[in-house]
Amino acid sequence: MEIKPFSKRIYLASPTMHGEELKYMKEAFDTNWMSTIGENINAVEKLASEYSGKKYAVGLSSCTSALHLCVKLAGERLYGRPAVSHGALEGKRVFCSDMTFAATLNPVSYEGGIPIFIDTEEDSWNMSPEALEKAFSLYPDVKLVVFAELYGFPGRVDEIKDICKRHGALLIEDAAEAHGATYKGSPCGSFGDLSVVSYNGNKIITGSTGGALLSNDKADADKARKWSTQAREPAPWYQHEEIGYNYRMSNVVAGVIRGQYPHLKEHIEQKKAVYERYKAGFKDLPVEMNPILEGACPNYWLSGFTIDERYMCKQDRGDLTVTYEKETGKTCPTEILETLEKLNAEGRPIWKPMHMQPTYRNHGFVSLGEKDVGADIFNRGVCLPSDNKMTEIEQNVIIEAVKNCFR
Ligand SMILES: *Cc1c(COP(=O)(O)O)cnc(C)c1O
């Protein structure tokens, strides 16, 4: 097959609009609910709570702001309300997923906490429960765990939850990438004491931006809502007893998200088809696709694979640059990403583990034994173009081009 670049770029994951989004946005416009109050927000909160199996949802400007409020809520519950100039986790260690987007755990730092990173397990590419257990023996004072579900493929979150319970720790679940996925019959977003989902532009459904905080506790939801709208007290003037934020969701953005929800299942089906076509296309290559745990129903947000180490050519990654040496029959993520780029298709390395990031390099990192699993998956792994609008023909071209890298 001759391989020519696509005339229209193929994205990793891009927004897919249907029409209802515009109807709800227009409703906001026509009724002049062009602020952070309105029917669309109420509807999104109801939908987010239904789809995640949590009683309460609070619509916010982003998932990062939702995570910030989760961390603050957890910090105050564990350690009491801090002085105005202090974070809710000042000087406290917090166990965090290591191989994830920085937004999962930056909010721990916003609140003065100290992320300690827990290594990844090969079986799910999520936090290793065994490494978490080990971490509690090394740092018995820790009372908070932040766990992210990677690329929409659930990890062993039931075991993580059990370990937290046994050690009297609270669990924050970052289901930003996993909305609509389930594990052992329960939706992602239902597992944490506090959980979040994201409506960022490249997620499975989107409002262009936006996020939701999820809890079964009405007091959490009320507090998050109050903090997100500048923490005003019920007084005839602007009365403040604590620090607030401008984190509330816009009713226009909520219109987009409201129009997306009826299509969540359909997006998952499309992403699943993308994953399965890759899996079939690469069946003779020495690669392993994102692992799926027994009992997990992923939302298949991003498809990716790791290359068998025997088929890895030499690849050298510095902090900002990379080189590799092509060898016959061998390849590396860098060669695959360059090949995709030449095709006008977007790939991405696996999330670079947080313990390898200059921001967090001097923080604790707990792995099992000698092997650094996260570093290894990062070294050998790649995310493939996973857009749900990619056609089968386009995907076949991508599959051929990737296969060529192994020649
Ligand atoms: C996208 C993402 C976030 C942040 O979501 P925003 O809505 O963009 O703030 C947090 N955690 C993970 C794992 C993500 O993928």
Q: The tokens 């003779």 sit on which residue?
A: 284
Q: Tell me if 63 CB under 6 Å of ligand 1.
A: yes
Where are the domain boundaries for CATH 3.40.640.10 in the chain? 20-263
Angle at 96 between CA 95 and CA 98, to 5 degrees: 130
Topology, domain 264-405: Aspartate Aminotransferase, domain 1 (3.90.1150)
Contact 130, 147 (CB under 8 A): no
pLDDT at 30 over 70: yes
Q: Best mutation site among 58, 64, 146, 299 for ligand 1, i.e. most ligand atoms within 8 A of its Cβ?
A: 64
Query: Is residue 132 scored above 70 in pLDDT?
Result: yes
Residue 1, pLDDT above cutoff 70: no
- pLDDT tens-digit readout, 220-256: 999 999 999 999 999 999 999 999 999 999 999 999 9
303-325 per-position pLDDT tens digit: 999 999 999 999 999 999 999 99
230: left (phi over 0), alpha (psi -120 to 50) or beta: left
Question: Does ligand 1 have an atom closer than 6 angstroms to the CB of 366?
Answer: no
Q: 230-236: which pairs have CB atoms within 8 A and are 24 or more residues apart?
A: none
Q: Is the CB of 200 under 6 A from ligand 1?
A: yes
Closest residue by Cα to atom 14, ligand 1, is 176
Q: How many CB atoms lie within 10 A of CB 122?
A: 13
For residue 142, give the nearest of 214, 215, 193, 74 by alpha carbon. 74
Mean pLDDT, rounded, for 69-88 = 95
Name the segment(s) of the chain with CATH classification 3.90.1150.10: 264-405
182 lines ligand 1 (CB under 6 A): no
- % of the chain with per-residue pLDDT over 90: 98
Give the atom of ligand 1 at the shortest distance from the alpha carbon of 198.
Answer: 7
How many residues are present in the chain? 407
Cβ of 173 less than 6 Å from ligand 1: no
Mean pLDDT, range 2-7, rounded to an integer: 85
Identify the band that residue 384 occupies on the pLDDT scale cut at 50, 70 and 90: very high
Q: Can you tell me the mean pLDDT for 339-367?
A: 97
pLDDT, residue 2, reads 62
Distance of CA 104 from the midpoint of ligand 1 (Å): 7
**Mean local confidence (pLDDT), 50-65:** 98
Q: Are 100 and 174 in contact (CB under 8 A)?
A: yes
Domain boundaries 20-263, CATH class: alpha beta
Q: Is 126 in the pocket of ligand 1 (CB under 6 A)?
A: no
Residues 6+ apart with CB under 8 A from 162: none
3-state secondary structure of 49: helix
Rounded distance between C-alpha atoms, residue 321 and residue 183, angstroms: 38
Reported in sequence order, the residue ranges of 46-161 that DSSP labels E, i.e. its strands, are 56-60, 93-97, 114-118, 144-148
Atom of ligand 1 nearest to the CA of 65: 9
Mean pLDDT of the chain: 97
- The yes-or-no verdict on residue 35 having pLDDT over 80 is yes
Is the pTM above the cut of 0.85?
Answer: yes
Is the distance from CB of 389 to CB of 16 less than 8 angstroms?
yes
Residue from 104, 202, 250 whose mutation best tests the ligand 1 pocket (most atoms within 8 A of CB): 104
Residue 273: closest CA among 179, 389, 119, 193: 389
Residue 176 or residue 85, greater confidence: 176
Output the DSSP codes for 169-203. Answer: -EEEEE-TT-TT-EETTEETTSSSSEEEEE-BTTS
If you measure from the C-alpha of residue 317 to the centroid of ligand 1, how many angstroms do you get, rounded to a whole number? 25
